[in-house]
Structure 1
Amino acid sequence: MSEINRRTLLGGVAATAAGLGVAALPGSAAASTTAPHRHRRVPRGGISIQLYTLRSLLAADLEGTLAALARIGYRKVELAGLHGRTPAEFRAILDRYGLSATSSHVGIDGDWQKTLADARTLGNRFVVAPFAQFATAGEWRDYASRLNAAGKAARAAGLRFGYHNHAHEFQALPTGERPWDIITATDRRLVHLELDLYWAVTGGQDPVDLIRRNRGRILQFHCKDRAADGSFTDLGTGTIDFRRIFSHSREAGVLEYIVERDTQPDPLKTAQVGFDYLRTVRFGCR
């Protein structure tokens, strides 16, 4: 199943979760009770955007869309496919507009060594498995073993390898185990976490609790906001209390704050709003 189709299917989870009531969701603005002690900001060098957010524009005008991101102020992007270009061709286009693809979403099936070589050509620092779904705990454990192996090879290639969550990892399997617990039982030296904040909240989790349980392992945040009805919305316009979450950035180990919105009426507006929010948000330091 393609990543786009997978994400389309998962969009239904957001609508279902809306019935839970946003005010009761962990990580929502309503859940914040602690005032910040002193203010910090997101480092400009840590701001990125997942290009899946702009996939329709990239398909129509790759260079024009990347140029627009550069004009907004982005210097980093996370890839989700190369839109028919080779890694060297895509890298040349990024270079032309002063952009760096520091991270890529990649599958771990197929020729993993080639995937890692392509990542190095693109200038990646991180490679991230974007999606997995299995019916049984045994299948998840087999996958976790493969993640360890992929992470070991990535480290040998000078790259950091991570896993990106959706909401279903937090739901119990027939055995009572949760995929999230199996994933996080991997070797933390080999597999870091790219915590998607929207999907964590939609899965009923408090991102701060996830940070506390995985200190130093959450190297990337997917910064995606949640409207009151559970749908996607532009960063800073919804119900997720990013200031509270970001106040634990040091504890998490976060190096990249990646703007994303799975579905959007105006991708460049989403990119602009997300960049402006990350540039201006202030939060406490813990």
Structure 2
Amino acid sequence: MTEEPPMPSRRTFLGTALAAGAAVALPTAASASDQGHRRVPRESISIQLYTLRGIMGDDPEPVLSALADIGYRKVELAGTYGRGAAEFAAVLRRCGLRASSSHVGIDGDLDRVIADAHTLGHKYVVVPWVNYATIAEWRAFTARLEAAGDKLRQAGLSLGYHNHAHEFATVEGVRPIDVITTGTTRRNVHLELDLYWAVTGGVDPVDVWRAHFPRVRQFHVKDRAADGSFADLGTGTIDFAEIFRRTNVAEYIVENDQPRDALETARIGYEYLANLRF
């Protein structure tokens, strides 16, 4: 089983990033053939299976096998399609895949979440979505997030939070993302930064990465068309090469919320990340 690539020290990587210059503007498109000295390690490429939910049907194995044929070795789960954790883990093994990460909630049975994560071989467990109308509710959620993160850490797992755009808008004069990052510790809660939603929310992903280094451990790599809709990687407006040049994470997770052809989206995404130089 391939180990995750080591993360650089805060001093080393922040020094490199800050030396690169001022923060990038909202990115523009770049070709996957852009030349550079770095690339995304193939073992760090994953895909969020939410992208393929429309074609999974009652038997996900053919789709998972097709992902392995494309080149994926890791996936991020968004459910197990009516199967128990052990049964779904067996399907993944038959397909030559491992689920290093999963989207789950924290307000249910955490012992079950932990047990299933161990059975499925997760390293990361990520809260995919919350939204509250008041800052008091955001603060209450953040307290629960920190407590859950502490429990999962003691069980050998890393709890993350996945953003959308609304966390970067103010509620009662305060941004929810700031409530989350100040109300939790980097020891217990990491960030899974969705690049599409960060850009949609009007922030520079590099700024978010720098501000919270080394808490951003996963990227959702999702492209944005000029009209704001979802796009396959490399066909939209986000300059991933520029973002990746100034950052570093353990996992680069392909995603498209509304793919026209899910397997083609998966193929394009894998090939884009595998061939990108920055």
**TM-score interval for Structure 1 and Structure 2 normalised by the shorter chain:** 0.7 to 0.9
Summarize deviations over 1:103-127 as a string: whole Å, max 9, x none: 0000001111111110110000000
Does residue 98 of structure 2 align to residue 103 of structure 1?
no
Structure 1 equivalent of residue 267 of structure 2:
272
Stretches of structure 1 lacking an aligned partner (at least 5 in a row): 1-24
Q: Which residue of 2 aligns with 1:180?
A: 177
Distance 2:230 2:247 in 1: 23
Taking only the aligned residue pairs, the percentage that are identical comes to 61
Equivalent position of 1:28 in the other structure: 27
| DSSP-derived class of the 1:189 partner | coil
- How far apart are 1:38 and its partner, in Å? 4.8
Q: What is the rounded CA distance, in whole Å, between the counterparts of 2:267 and 2:178 in structure 1?
A: 35
**1:140 & 1:243 partners in 2: Cα distance?**
33
1:126-137 paired onto structure 2 within 5 Å: 126-137=124-135
Q: CA RMSD in A?
A: 1.5
Deviations 1:183-229 (A, max 9, x none): 11111110000000000000001111111101111000000000000
Of 184, 203, 206 in structure 2, the residue corresponding to residue 205 of structure 1 is: 203
Task: Tell me: CA distance 1:227–1:61, structure 2 relative to 1, closer, same or farther (3 Å).
Answer: same
Aligned to 1:123: 121
Q: CA deviation at 1:60?
A: 4.6
Where does residue 6 of structure 2 map in the other structure?
A: none
CA distance in 2 between counterparts of 1:26 and 1:153 reads: 38
1:160 and 2:148 matched = no
Q: How far off is 1:59 after superposition?
A: 2.1
Partners of 1:278 and 1:127 in 2: CA distance:
23
Structure 1 letter corresponding to 2:131: Q
CA distance in 2, matches of 1:53, 1:190: 28
Match of 1:263 in 2: 258
Shift of 1:259: 0.1
Counterparts of 1:249 and 1:128 in 2: how far apart (Å)?
20
TM-score (norm 2): 0.88
Kept in 2, the 8 Å contact 1:233–1:261? The answer is yes
Displacement of 1:249:
2.6
1:1-286 alignment runs, 5 A limit: 26-29=25-28, 38-173=36-171, 175-185=172-182, 186-250=184-248, 254-283=249-278
Q: d(CA) in 2 for partners of 1:217 and 1:278?
A: 22
Question: How far apart, CA to CA, are the structure 1 residues paired with 2:273 and 2:140?
Answer: 37
Segments of 5+ residues of structure 2 without an aligned counterpart are 1-23
**What residue identity is the alignment partner of 2:124?**
F
Q: For 1:56 and 1:272, locate their aligned partners in 2 and report how far apart those are by CA, in whole Å.
A: 16
Letter in 1 for 2:202: G
